[in-house]
């Protein structure tokens, strides 16, 4: 009887630790994390030619500090650009209005995030403003495609290398 209760306690502990690990992984691998309240915020938009695989919930950072999240991604039918709505924490309310937004990759295979670089204007971004200066995502597949196209062009566009026959040698007796 004693062995059975020890086995049940061990199994229960294992299950609880498993759920705790699953919960931890869920909060660490998704870009949303946990948010138990809504901090004061303001929304700004930016238009990009290409957002790569940027997702809703991706971080918005400035100088490596997370200052907000991407809350919506839409498409502008007139300009044919992706429109990204960012929700920034109100305590970061002195970002110059001429700042620029770029899409970066977290590590070599990581997800995308938006990095803001401060401009020099005397006025600051406010709710419903748009960031005009943007840099689209760096798409690795496009770079590989360009490299392969240039490599193939170099192979077909250059003449075949010249091969010279070795100079005849005289046999000595």
pLDDT, tens digit (0-9, with 9 covering 90-100), for 73-99 = 999 999 999 999 999 999 999 999 999
What is the C-alpha to C-alpha distance for residues 39 and 68, in angstroms, rounded to an integer? 10
Cβ neighbours of residue 50 closer than 8 Å, sequence gap 6 or more: 82, 136, 137, 139
Cβ neighbours of residue 104 closer than 8 Å, sequence gap 6 or more: 112, 113, 114, 115, 138
pLDDT, tens digit (0-9, with 9 covering 90-100), for 57-78 = 999 999 999 999 999 999 999 9
Long-range contacts of 26-30 (CB under 8 A, 24+ apart): 30/57
Say if residues 96 and 103 touch (Cβ distance below 8 Å): no
What is the C-alpha to C-alpha distance for residues 101 and 136, in angstroms, rounded to an integer? 9
Looking at residue 155, what is its pLDDT? 73
Tell me, yes or no, if the pTM score tops 0.85. Answer: no
Residue numbers of the chain with a pLDDT score lower than 50: 31, 36, 172-173
Q: How far is CA 46 from CA 51, 56, 63, 106, 151, in A?
A: 11, 14, 18, 20, 36
What is the C-alpha to C-alpha distance for residues 139 and 144, in angstroms, rounded to an integer? 9
For residue 68, give both structure tokens: 């907000």
């Amino acid at each position: 009887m004693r062995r059975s209760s020890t086995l049940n306690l061990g199994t229960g502990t294992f299950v609880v630790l498993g759920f705790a690990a699953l919960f931890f992984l869920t909060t660490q691998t998704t870009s949303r994390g946990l948010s138990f309240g809504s901090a004061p915020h303001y929304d700004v938009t930016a238009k990009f030619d290409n957002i790569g695989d940027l997702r809703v919930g991706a971080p918005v950072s400035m100088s490596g500090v997370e200052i907000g999240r991407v809350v919506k991604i839409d498409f502008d039918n007139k300009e044919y650009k992706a429109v990204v709505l960012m929700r920034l924490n109100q305590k970061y309310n002195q970002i110059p209005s001429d700042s620029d937004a770029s899409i970066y990759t977290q590590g070599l295979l990581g997800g995308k995030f938006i990095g803001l670089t401060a401009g020099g204007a005397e006025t600051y971004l406010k709710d419903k403003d748009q960031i005009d200066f943007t840099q689209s995502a760096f798409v690795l597949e496009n770079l590989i495609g360009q490299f392969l196209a240039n490599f193939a062009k170099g192979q077909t566009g250059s003449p075949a290398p010249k091969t010279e026959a070795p100079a005849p040698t005289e046999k000595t007796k």
